[in-house]
Structure 1
Amino acid sequence: MNAASQPVPSLKDASTVMLVRDGAAGPEVFLQRRVGAMAFAAGMTVFPGGGVDPSDGTADIEWAGPEPAWWAEKFGTTEPRAKALVAAAVRETFEECGVLLAGPTTDTVVSDTTGYHDARGRLERRELSLAAFLAEEKLVLRADLLRPWANWITPVIEPRRYDTRFFVAVLPQGQLADGATSEAAEVQWRTPADALARWRAGTDILLPPTWAQLDAIGEFGSTVEILAVDKVIEPIMPVLSGPDGQQLLDFPNNQRYFADLPDTSRLKGSARP
Protein backbone atom coordinates (compact mmCIF):
# COMPACT_ATOMS: atom_id res chain seq x y z
CA MET A 1 0.00 0.00 0.00
CA ASN A 2 1.50 3.36 -1.01
CA ALA A 3 1.38 6.47 1.17
CA ALA A 4 -1.42 8.05 -0.85
CA SER A 5 -3.73 5.08 -0.26
CA GLN A 6 -3.02 4.65 3.44
CA PRO A 7 -5.88 5.62 5.77
CA VAL A 8 -5.56 9.00 7.48
CA PRO A 9 -5.02 8.54 11.25
CA SER A 10 -7.96 9.68 13.33
CA LEU A 11 -7.80 12.89 15.37
CA LYS A 12 -7.69 13.02 19.16
CA ASP A 13 -8.80 16.13 21.02
CA ALA A 14 -6.10 17.84 23.08
CA SER A 15 -5.72 20.95 25.23
CA THR A 16 -2.59 23.03 25.70
CA VAL A 17 -2.18 25.89 28.18
CA MET A 18 0.24 28.77 27.77
CA LEU A 19 0.93 29.75 31.36
CA VAL A 20 2.23 33.33 31.59
CA ARG A 21 3.49 35.70 34.27
CA ASP A 22 4.90 39.22 34.31
CA GLY A 23 8.69 39.45 34.54
CA ALA A 24 11.27 42.23 34.62
CA ALA A 25 11.67 42.08 30.83
CA GLY A 26 7.99 41.56 30.06
CA PRO A 27 5.67 38.56 30.00
CA GLU A 28 7.29 35.16 30.56
CA VAL A 29 5.93 31.80 29.40
CA PHE A 30 6.30 28.46 31.18
CA LEU A 31 7.92 25.86 28.90
CA GLN A 32 8.92 22.25 29.34
CA ARG A 33 11.23 20.02 27.33
CA ARG A 34 9.57 16.67 26.85
CA VAL A 35 11.49 13.53 27.74
CA GLY A 36 13.02 11.59 24.86
CA ALA A 37 10.90 8.50 25.45
CA MET A 38 7.59 10.24 24.69
CA ALA A 39 5.61 8.79 21.79
CA PHE A 40 4.74 12.29 20.55
CA ALA A 41 6.98 15.38 20.31
CA ALA A 42 9.83 13.67 22.17
CA GLY A 43 12.59 16.12 23.12
CA MET A 44 10.57 19.13 21.96
CA THR A 45 10.07 22.27 24.03
CA VAL A 46 6.33 22.75 24.51
CA PHE A 47 3.63 24.23 26.73
CA PRO A 48 1.87 22.01 29.29
CA GLY A 49 -0.93 20.00 27.77
CA GLY A 50 -2.12 16.67 26.48
CA GLY A 51 -4.98 14.61 25.17
CA VAL A 52 -8.53 14.88 26.42
CA ASP A 53 -9.34 11.97 28.73
CA PRO A 54 -12.70 10.14 28.40
CA SER A 55 -13.56 11.28 31.94
CA ASP A 56 -12.95 14.98 31.22
CA GLY A 57 -16.21 16.87 31.31
CA THR A 58 -18.42 13.79 31.69
CA ALA A 59 -19.47 14.43 35.29
CA ASP A 60 -20.94 17.47 37.02
CA ILE A 61 -18.21 19.96 37.89
CA GLU A 62 -18.58 23.09 40.00
CA TRP A 63 -17.83 25.72 37.38
CA ALA A 64 -17.07 29.45 37.47
CA GLY A 65 -16.78 31.65 34.42
CA PRO A 66 -17.90 31.27 30.79
CA GLU A 67 -20.18 28.29 30.35
CA PRO A 68 -19.43 25.47 27.86
CA ALA A 69 -21.73 27.14 25.29
CA TRP A 70 -19.40 30.19 25.22
CA TRP A 71 -16.32 28.00 24.77
CA ALA A 72 -18.11 25.97 22.08
CA GLU A 73 -18.76 29.14 20.09
CA LYS A 74 -15.18 30.33 20.48
CA PHE A 75 -13.68 27.01 19.40
CA GLY A 76 -16.32 26.10 16.82
CA THR A 77 -17.39 22.87 18.46
CA THR A 78 -20.15 21.28 20.56
CA GLU A 79 -20.88 22.12 24.19
CA PRO A 80 -19.94 18.66 25.57
CA ARG A 81 -16.68 18.74 23.63
CA ALA A 82 -15.94 22.29 24.78
CA LYS A 83 -16.55 21.31 28.40
CA ALA A 84 -14.14 18.39 28.05
CA LEU A 85 -11.50 20.62 26.43
CA VAL A 86 -11.65 23.15 29.28
CA ALA A 87 -11.58 20.38 31.89
CA ALA A 88 -8.59 18.79 30.15
CA ALA A 89 -6.80 22.16 30.12
CA VAL A 90 -7.22 22.49 33.90
CA ARG A 91 -6.30 18.85 34.56
CA GLU A 92 -3.22 18.81 32.32
CA THR A 93 -1.90 22.07 33.76
CA PHE A 94 -2.17 20.66 37.28
CA GLU A 95 -0.67 17.29 36.33
CA GLU A 96 2.27 18.68 34.38
CA CYS A 97 3.33 21.70 36.42
CA GLY A 98 1.32 21.69 39.65
CA VAL A 99 -0.66 24.83 38.80
CA LEU A 100 -4.33 24.47 39.70
CA LEU A 101 -6.92 26.77 38.11
CA ALA A 102 -9.54 26.14 40.78
CA GLY A 103 -10.54 27.55 44.14
CA PRO A 104 -12.82 27.08 47.16
CA THR A 105 -15.34 29.58 45.75
CA THR A 106 -16.27 31.05 42.38
CA ASP A 107 -14.07 34.10 42.95
CA THR A 108 -11.04 32.59 44.72
CA VAL A 109 -8.15 30.38 43.63
CA VAL A 110 -5.93 28.13 45.73
CA SER A 111 -2.64 29.78 46.62
CA ASP A 112 -0.69 26.63 47.52
CA THR A 113 -1.13 23.29 45.76
CA THR A 114 1.39 21.24 47.76
CA GLY A 115 -1.43 19.72 49.81
CA TYR A 116 -2.79 18.10 46.67
CA HIS A 117 0.45 16.24 45.84
CA ASP A 118 -1.03 12.75 46.17
CA ALA A 119 -4.11 13.65 44.15
CA ARG A 120 -1.89 15.07 41.42
CA GLY A 121 -0.12 11.74 41.09
CA ARG A 122 -3.40 9.86 41.00
CA LEU A 123 -4.67 12.17 38.28
CA GLU A 124 -1.55 11.61 36.19
CA ARG A 125 -1.86 7.82 36.60
CA ARG A 126 -5.58 8.06 35.67
CA GLU A 127 -6.61 6.64 39.05
CA LEU A 128 -8.70 9.74 39.71
CA SER A 129 -10.82 11.94 37.46
CA LEU A 130 -10.76 15.72 37.56
CA ALA A 131 -14.44 15.83 38.53
CA ALA A 132 -13.89 13.45 41.45
CA PHE A 133 -10.82 15.38 42.62
CA LEU A 134 -12.63 18.72 42.58
CA ALA A 135 -15.63 17.21 44.39
CA GLU A 136 -13.46 15.57 47.07
CA GLU A 137 -11.61 18.82 47.75
CA LYS A 138 -14.74 21.01 47.39
CA LEU A 139 -13.11 23.09 44.67
CA VAL A 140 -14.62 25.11 41.83
CA LEU A 141 -13.11 24.96 38.33
CA ARG A 142 -12.16 28.53 37.35
CA ALA A 143 -12.86 28.63 33.62
CA ASP A 144 -12.70 32.43 33.86
CA LEU A 145 -8.93 32.20 34.43
CA LEU A 146 -8.50 30.73 30.93
CA ARG A 147 -8.72 32.44 27.56
CA PRO A 148 -9.12 30.71 24.16
CA TRP A 149 -6.12 31.37 21.93
CA ALA A 150 -5.66 29.05 18.92
CA ASN A 151 -6.55 25.75 17.25
CA TRP A 152 -3.92 23.66 15.44
CA ILE A 153 -4.50 20.27 13.84
CA THR A 154 -1.72 17.76 13.20
CA PRO A 155 -1.02 17.22 9.47
CA VAL A 156 -2.43 14.09 7.83
CA ILE A 157 1.12 12.84 7.16
CA GLU A 158 1.68 12.09 10.85
CA PRO A 159 0.83 8.74 12.50
CA ARG A 160 -0.42 10.48 15.67
CA ARG A 161 -2.82 13.35 15.10
CA TYR A 162 -4.32 15.86 17.52
CA ASP A 163 -6.96 18.56 17.24
CA THR A 164 -5.38 20.88 19.80
CA ARG A 165 -7.00 23.91 21.39
CA PHE A 166 -4.57 26.42 22.88
CA PHE A 167 -5.52 28.36 26.00
CA VAL A 168 -3.69 31.11 27.89
CA ALA A 169 -3.76 31.66 31.66
CA VAL A 170 -1.86 33.81 34.14
CA LEU A 171 0.00 32.01 36.94
CA PRO A 172 -2.21 32.38 40.04
CA GLN A 173 -0.70 34.40 42.88
CA GLY A 174 1.14 32.21 45.39
CA GLN A 175 1.34 29.15 43.13
CA LEU A 176 4.56 27.76 41.70
CA ALA A 177 5.00 25.94 38.39
CA ASP A 178 7.35 22.96 38.64
CA GLY A 179 8.73 20.08 36.62
CA ALA A 180 7.48 17.27 38.85
CA THR A 181 6.02 15.20 36.03
CA SER A 182 7.19 12.08 34.24
CA GLU A 183 6.79 13.85 30.90
CA ALA A 184 9.24 16.75 31.38
CA ALA A 185 13.02 16.52 31.33
CA GLU A 186 13.45 20.24 32.00
CA VAL A 187 11.20 23.24 32.71
CA GLN A 188 11.85 26.95 32.32
CA TRP A 189 10.23 30.37 32.47
CA ARG A 190 11.34 32.46 29.49
CA THR A 191 10.27 35.54 27.63
CA PRO A 192 9.02 34.72 24.14
CA ALA A 193 12.02 36.56 22.68
CA ASP A 194 14.45 34.45 24.74
CA ALA A 195 12.63 31.21 23.85
CA LEU A 196 12.73 32.05 20.15
CA ALA A 197 16.43 33.01 20.37
CA ARG A 198 17.22 29.63 21.94
CA TRP A 199 15.30 27.94 19.12
CA ARG A 200 17.19 29.86 16.43
CA ALA A 201 20.45 28.86 18.15
CA GLY A 202 19.44 25.19 18.10
CA THR A 203 19.32 24.94 21.91
CA ASP A 204 15.59 24.13 21.96
CA ILE A 205 13.37 22.59 19.31
CA LEU A 206 10.01 24.25 18.69
CA LEU A 207 7.26 22.72 16.59
CA PRO A 208 5.37 25.20 14.37
CA PRO A 209 2.39 25.65 16.74
CA THR A 210 4.66 26.41 19.72
CA TRP A 211 6.72 28.79 17.61
CA ALA A 212 3.58 30.53 16.35
CA GLN A 213 2.16 31.12 19.84
CA LEU A 214 5.47 32.41 21.21
CA ASP A 215 5.75 34.72 18.21
CA ALA A 216 2.23 36.03 18.87
CA ILE A 217 2.57 36.48 22.64
CA GLY A 218 5.85 38.33 22.14
CA GLU A 219 3.87 41.28 20.77
CA PHE A 220 2.38 42.11 24.17
CA GLY A 221 3.93 44.07 27.01
CA SER A 222 2.04 42.57 29.95
CA THR A 223 -0.18 39.68 30.98
CA VAL A 224 -3.08 42.13 31.27
CA GLU A 225 -2.71 42.90 27.57
CA ILE A 226 -2.56 39.19 26.72
CA LEU A 227 -5.75 38.37 28.64
CA ALA A 228 -7.55 41.30 27.02
CA VAL A 229 -7.13 39.90 23.51
CA ASP A 230 -10.39 38.73 21.93
CA LYS A 231 -9.10 36.06 19.57
CA VAL A 232 -10.98 34.95 16.47
CA ILE A 233 -9.92 31.33 16.24
CA GLU A 234 -9.62 29.62 12.88
CA PRO A 235 -8.38 26.00 12.73
CA ILE A 236 -4.90 25.66 11.24
CA MET A 237 -3.78 22.37 9.70
CA PRO A 238 -0.36 22.51 8.03
CA VAL A 239 -0.16 20.75 4.66
CA LEU A 240 2.82 19.76 2.54
CA SER A 241 3.34 21.96 -0.50
CA GLY A 242 6.03 22.53 -3.11
CA PRO A 243 7.83 20.31 -5.63
CA ASP A 244 8.98 16.82 -4.66
CA GLY A 245 12.21 16.92 -2.71
CA GLN A 246 11.62 20.53 -1.66
CA GLN A 247 8.31 20.22 0.12
CA LEU A 248 7.64 22.24 3.26
CA LEU A 249 4.68 22.38 5.56
CA ASP A 250 2.44 25.30 4.66
CA PHE A 251 0.98 27.30 7.58
CA PRO A 252 0.74 31.01 8.48
CA ASN A 253 4.20 32.65 8.42
CA ASN A 254 5.84 29.33 7.53
CA GLN A 255 8.53 31.07 5.48
CA ARG A 256 9.72 32.95 8.58
CA TYR A 257 9.71 29.72 10.58
CA PHE A 258 11.79 27.76 8.07
CA ALA A 259 14.10 30.68 7.34
CA ASP A 260 15.13 30.79 11.01
CA LEU A 261 15.00 27.05 11.69
CA PRO A 262 18.51 25.78 12.60
CA ASP A 263 19.92 23.13 10.27
CA THR A 264 20.54 20.89 13.28
CA SER A 265 16.83 20.66 14.03
CA ARG A 266 15.38 21.10 10.54
CA LEU A 267 12.06 19.27 10.59
CA LYS A 268 10.45 20.29 7.29
CA GLY A 269 7.89 17.60 6.44
CA SER A 270 7.92 16.20 9.96
CA ALA A 271 7.37 19.53 11.73
CA ARG A 272 4.00 19.04 13.35
CA PRO A 273 1.63 20.28 16.03
Structure 2
Amino acid sequence: MTRTKVRAWIVGVIAILVSVVVFLVPFAFVVLQAAKTPDDASTLAFTWPKEWQFFPNLVAVLQSNDGLIWRAFLNSFVLTVGSVALMVILSAMAGYVLARKRSKWGPVVNFFVLAGLIVPPAVVPTIWVLQGVGLYKTMPGMILIETTFGLSFCILLFRAFFNTVPKELDEAAVLDGAGRVRLFFQVILPLLRPVIVTVIVVQSVFVFNDFAGPLYFLPGSDNATVQTTLYTFSGQNLSFYNLLFMDILLITIPPLVAYIFFNRQIVAGMTSGAIKG
Protein backbone atom coordinates (compact mmCIF):
# COMPACT_ATOMS: atom_id res chain seq x y z
CA MET A 1 0.00 0.00 0.00
CA THR A 2 1.46 3.33 -1.09
CA ARG A 3 1.90 6.29 1.21
CA THR A 4 -0.87 8.18 -0.59
CA LYS A 5 -3.38 5.36 -0.02
CA VAL A 6 -2.37 5.05 3.63
CA ARG A 7 -2.85 8.77 4.12
CA ALA A 8 -6.26 8.66 2.40
CA TRP A 9 -7.27 5.68 4.57
CA ILE A 10 -6.24 7.51 7.76
CA VAL A 11 -8.13 10.65 6.72
CA GLY A 12 -11.21 8.55 5.98
CA VAL A 13 -11.10 6.84 9.36
CA ILE A 14 -10.68 10.18 11.14
CA ALA A 15 -13.64 11.63 9.20
CA ILE A 16 -15.83 8.66 10.19
CA LEU A 17 -14.86 8.97 13.85
CA VAL A 18 -15.58 12.70 13.85
CA SER A 19 -18.97 12.08 12.21
CA VAL A 20 -19.80 9.48 14.85
CA VAL A 21 -18.92 11.86 17.68
CA VAL A 22 -20.70 14.87 16.17
CA PHE A 23 -23.88 13.21 14.91
CA LEU A 24 -24.44 9.72 16.26
CA VAL A 25 -23.51 10.33 19.90
CA PRO A 26 -26.04 13.19 20.37
CA PHE A 27 -28.68 11.15 18.53
CA ALA A 28 -28.04 8.17 20.80
CA PHE A 29 -28.33 10.44 23.82
CA VAL A 30 -31.75 11.67 22.66
CA VAL A 31 -32.98 8.11 22.05
CA LEU A 32 -31.84 6.94 25.49
CA GLN A 33 -33.47 9.87 27.26
CA ALA A 34 -36.70 9.32 25.31
CA ALA A 35 -36.83 5.72 26.57
CA LYS A 36 -36.44 6.54 30.28
CA THR A 37 -38.88 7.14 33.11
CA PRO A 38 -39.37 10.76 34.31
CA ASP A 39 -37.14 10.31 37.35
CA ASP A 40 -34.42 8.55 35.39
CA ALA A 41 -34.44 11.13 32.58
CA SER A 42 -34.32 14.08 35.01
CA THR A 43 -30.63 13.32 35.73
CA LEU A 44 -29.75 13.86 32.03
CA ALA A 45 -27.11 11.15 32.36
CA PHE A 46 -25.77 9.32 29.32
CA THR A 47 -26.70 5.92 30.73
CA TRP A 48 -28.81 2.92 29.79
CA PRO A 49 -32.46 3.27 30.92
CA LYS A 50 -33.25 1.48 34.16
CA GLU A 51 -36.72 0.75 32.79
CA TRP A 52 -37.63 1.01 29.11
CA GLN A 53 -40.56 3.36 28.58
CA PHE A 54 -40.07 4.16 24.89
CA PHE A 55 -43.52 3.26 23.57
CA PRO A 56 -45.46 4.62 26.59
CA ASN A 57 -43.55 7.90 26.19
CA LEU A 58 -44.32 7.92 22.48
CA VAL A 59 -48.04 7.46 23.11
CA ALA A 60 -47.98 10.15 25.82
CA VAL A 61 -46.41 12.68 23.44
CA LEU A 62 -48.85 11.89 20.64
CA GLN A 63 -51.84 12.27 22.99
CA SER A 64 -50.59 15.28 24.95
CA ASN A 65 -52.79 18.41 24.88
CA ASP A 66 -55.49 16.72 22.79
CA GLY A 67 -53.04 15.66 20.10
CA LEU A 68 -51.22 18.99 19.78
CA ILE A 69 -48.28 17.33 18.05
CA TRP A 70 -50.50 16.21 15.14
CA ARG A 71 -51.82 19.74 14.62
CA ALA A 72 -48.27 21.07 14.90
CA PHE A 73 -47.02 18.68 12.21
CA LEU A 74 -49.85 19.78 9.91
CA ASN A 75 -49.05 23.47 10.49
CA SER A 76 -45.34 22.85 9.90
CA PHE A 77 -46.14 20.94 6.70
CA VAL A 78 -48.30 23.77 5.33
CA LEU A 79 -45.72 26.36 6.35
CA THR A 80 -42.84 24.43 4.80
CA VAL A 81 -44.57 23.63 1.51
CA GLY A 82 -45.89 27.16 1.02
CA SER A 83 -42.62 28.87 1.90
CA VAL A 84 -40.38 26.60 -0.17
CA ALA A 85 -42.67 26.81 -3.21
CA LEU A 86 -42.46 30.60 -3.14
CA MET A 87 -38.70 30.48 -2.60
CA VAL A 88 -38.15 28.26 -5.64
CA ILE A 89 -40.30 30.32 -8.00
CA LEU A 90 -39.16 33.79 -6.91
CA SER A 91 -35.46 32.98 -6.49
CA ALA A 92 -35.29 31.12 -9.82
CA MET A 93 -36.74 34.11 -11.67
CA ALA A 94 -34.55 36.59 -9.78
CA GLY A 95 -31.42 34.47 -10.30
CA TYR A 96 -32.16 34.19 -14.02
CA VAL A 97 -32.47 37.94 -14.42
CA LEU A 98 -29.32 38.66 -12.41
CA ALA A 99 -27.30 36.10 -14.37
CA ARG A 100 -28.51 37.03 -17.83
CA LYS A 101 -29.16 40.77 -17.74
CA ARG A 102 -26.29 43.18 -17.14
CA SER A 103 -27.24 46.69 -16.05
CA LYS A 104 -26.05 49.50 -13.81
CA TRP A 105 -28.51 48.34 -11.14
CA GLY A 106 -26.90 44.91 -10.94
CA PRO A 107 -24.38 45.79 -8.19
CA VAL A 108 -27.13 47.46 -6.14
CA VAL A 109 -29.38 44.40 -6.39
CA ASN A 110 -26.45 42.11 -5.51
CA PHE A 111 -25.75 44.27 -2.47
CA PHE A 112 -29.29 43.84 -1.17
CA VAL A 113 -29.19 40.10 -1.89
CA LEU A 114 -26.01 39.75 0.18
CA ALA A 115 -27.47 42.03 2.86
CA GLY A 116 -30.29 39.54 3.25
CA LEU A 117 -27.71 36.99 4.40
CA ILE A 118 -25.92 39.34 6.79
CA VAL A 119 -28.47 41.72 8.33
CA PRO A 120 -30.42 40.05 11.17
CA PRO A 121 -34.22 40.22 11.08
CA ALA A 122 -35.89 42.97 13.12
CA VAL A 123 -38.67 41.41 15.15
CA VAL A 124 -40.62 44.44 16.39
CA PRO A 125 -40.78 46.33 13.04
CA THR A 126 -41.76 43.10 11.29
CA ILE A 127 -44.60 42.52 13.74
CA TRP A 128 -45.72 46.13 13.25
CA VAL A 129 -45.80 45.67 9.46
CA LEU A 130 -47.69 42.37 9.75
CA GLN A 131 -50.25 43.97 12.06
CA GLY A 132 -50.66 46.85 9.62
CA VAL A 133 -51.53 44.53 6.73
CA GLY A 134 -53.58 42.15 8.90
CA LEU A 135 -51.23 39.15 8.57
CA TYR A 136 -49.96 38.88 12.14
CA LYS A 137 -50.71 35.49 13.76
CA THR A 138 -51.73 34.07 10.37
CA MET A 139 -50.21 31.29 8.30
CA PRO A 140 -49.93 33.42 5.10
CA GLY A 141 -47.97 36.04 7.05
CA MET A 142 -45.62 33.39 8.45
CA ILE A 143 -45.13 31.92 4.96
CA LEU A 144 -44.09 35.35 3.66
CA ILE A 145 -41.67 35.76 6.58
CA GLU A 146 -39.99 32.39 5.97
CA THR A 147 -39.81 33.09 2.24
CA THR A 148 -38.10 36.41 2.86
CA PHE A 149 -35.57 34.86 5.25
CA GLY A 150 -34.49 32.21 2.73
CA LEU A 151 -34.73 34.17 -0.50
CA SER A 152 -31.17 35.56 -0.55
CA PHE A 153 -29.52 32.17 -0.17
CA CYS A 154 -31.72 30.67 -2.88
CA ILE A 155 -31.05 33.52 -5.31
CA LEU A 156 -27.29 33.04 -4.94
CA LEU A 157 -27.61 29.31 -5.67
CA PHE A 158 -29.77 29.84 -8.76
CA ARG A 159 -27.59 32.65 -10.09
CA ALA A 160 -24.48 30.47 -9.80
CA PHE A 161 -26.24 27.60 -11.56
CA PHE A 162 -27.36 29.80 -14.45
CA ASN A 163 -23.69 30.43 -15.24
CA THR A 164 -23.50 26.77 -16.34
CA VAL A 165 -26.51 27.08 -18.68
CA PRO A 166 -25.45 28.25 -22.18
CA LYS A 167 -27.03 31.48 -23.38
CA GLU A 168 -27.43 29.90 -26.79
CA LEU A 169 -30.44 28.02 -25.42
CA ASP A 170 -32.18 31.33 -24.76
CA GLU A 171 -31.39 32.61 -28.24
CA ALA A 172 -32.57 29.39 -29.90
CA ALA A 173 -35.85 29.46 -27.97
CA VAL A 174 -36.45 33.11 -28.89
CA LEU A 175 -35.81 32.32 -32.57
CA ASP A 176 -38.41 29.53 -32.33
CA GLY A 177 -40.96 32.10 -31.19
CA ALA A 178 -40.90 31.57 -27.43
CA GLY A 179 -41.77 34.56 -25.26
CA ARG A 180 -40.07 35.42 -21.98
CA VAL A 181 -42.54 33.48 -19.83
CA ARG A 182 -42.51 30.42 -22.09
CA LEU A 183 -38.72 30.60 -22.37
CA PHE A 184 -38.29 30.49 -18.61
CA PHE A 185 -40.89 27.89 -17.66
CA GLN A 186 -40.54 25.50 -20.62
CA VAL A 187 -36.86 25.79 -21.52
CA ILE A 188 -34.89 27.06 -18.54
CA LEU A 189 -36.81 25.72 -15.52
CA PRO A 190 -36.55 22.00 -16.49
CA LEU A 191 -32.74 22.39 -16.54
CA LEU A 192 -32.69 23.57 -12.93
CA ARG A 193 -33.58 20.22 -11.35
CA PRO A 194 -30.31 19.77 -9.35
CA VAL A 195 -30.43 23.19 -7.73
CA ILE A 196 -34.20 23.02 -7.25
CA VAL A 197 -33.82 19.77 -5.28
CA THR A 198 -31.07 21.39 -3.21
CA VAL A 199 -33.20 24.44 -2.43
CA ILE A 200 -36.24 22.29 -1.57
CA VAL A 201 -34.36 20.01 0.82
CA VAL A 202 -32.16 22.62 2.51
CA GLN A 203 -34.86 25.24 2.93
CA SER A 204 -37.49 22.66 3.94
CA VAL A 205 -35.25 21.56 6.80
CA PHE A 206 -34.57 25.19 7.73
CA VAL A 207 -38.26 26.17 7.77
CA PHE A 208 -39.32 22.95 9.49
CA ASN A 209 -36.71 23.48 12.23
CA ASP A 210 -37.32 27.21 12.66
CA PHE A 211 -38.17 27.99 16.26
CA ALA A 212 -37.79 31.77 16.63
CA GLY A 213 -39.96 32.68 13.62
CA PRO A 214 -43.18 30.92 14.70
CA LEU A 215 -42.52 31.94 18.30
CA TYR A 216 -42.52 35.65 17.41
CA PHE A 217 -44.81 35.88 14.40
CA LEU A 218 -47.21 32.94 14.82
CA PRO A 219 -48.08 32.68 18.53
CA GLY A 220 -50.97 30.67 19.91
CA SER A 221 -51.68 26.97 20.41
CA ASP A 222 -53.85 26.79 17.29
CA ASN A 223 -50.87 27.95 15.21
CA ALA A 224 -48.31 25.74 16.97
CA THR A 225 -45.48 24.26 14.87
CA VAL A 226 -43.42 21.22 15.80
CA GLN A 227 -40.63 23.32 17.32
CA THR A 228 -42.91 25.31 19.61
CA THR A 229 -44.39 22.08 21.01
CA LEU A 230 -41.16 21.72 23.00
CA TYR A 231 -42.62 24.24 25.45
CA THR A 232 -45.31 21.69 26.29
CA PHE A 233 -42.90 19.44 28.16
CA SER A 234 -40.49 22.00 29.58
CA GLY A 235 -41.44 24.82 31.93
CA GLN A 236 -40.03 27.05 34.63
CA ASN A 237 -41.20 24.87 37.51
CA LEU A 238 -41.60 21.39 36.03
CA SER A 239 -40.05 19.55 33.08
CA PHE A 240 -40.72 16.06 31.75
CA TYR A 241 -37.40 15.37 30.10
CA ASN A 242 -38.37 11.92 28.87
CA LEU A 243 -41.33 13.37 26.94
CA LEU A 244 -39.28 16.38 25.85
CA PHE A 245 -36.62 14.18 24.26
CA MET A 246 -39.29 11.98 22.70
CA ASP A 247 -40.73 15.10 21.12
CA ILE A 248 -37.24 16.07 19.92
CA LEU A 249 -36.82 12.60 18.42
CA LEU A 250 -40.09 12.87 16.50
CA ILE A 251 -39.12 16.31 15.21
CA THR A 252 -35.69 15.07 14.11
CA ILE A 253 -36.93 12.19 11.96
CA PRO A 254 -38.32 14.12 8.89
CA PRO A 255 -35.17 16.27 8.29
CA LEU A 256 -32.96 13.23 8.86
CA VAL A 257 -34.86 11.19 6.27
CA ALA A 258 -34.69 14.08 3.79
CA TYR A 259 -30.91 14.37 4.08
CA ILE A 260 -30.40 10.61 3.79
CA PHE A 261 -32.39 10.27 0.56
CA PHE A 262 -31.32 13.52 -1.12
CA ASN A 263 -27.69 13.79 -0.04
CA ARG A 264 -26.24 13.48 -3.56
CA GLN A 265 -28.68 15.98 -5.03
CA ILE A 266 -27.82 18.48 -2.30
CA VAL A 267 -24.09 18.23 -3.03
CA ALA A 268 -24.67 18.49 -6.79
CA GLY A 269 -26.81 21.60 -6.42
CA MET A 270 -24.44 23.29 -3.96
CA THR A 271 -21.43 22.79 -6.26
CA SER A 272 -23.21 23.87 -9.44
CA GLY A 273 -21.64 26.97 -10.91
CA ALA A 274 -18.49 26.66 -8.79
CA ILE A 275 -16.25 26.39 -11.87
CA LYS A 276 -17.72 28.97 -14.19
CA GLY A 277 -18.53 32.54 -13.19
User: If the length of structure 2 is used for normalisation, what is the TM-score?
Assistant: 0.24
Structure ranking higher in helix proportion = 2
Structure ranking higher in strand proportion = 1
Which of the two has higher C-alpha Rg? 2
User: If the length of structure 1 is used for normalisation, what is the TM-score?
Assistant: 0.24
Higher relative contact order (CA 8 A, sep 6+): 2
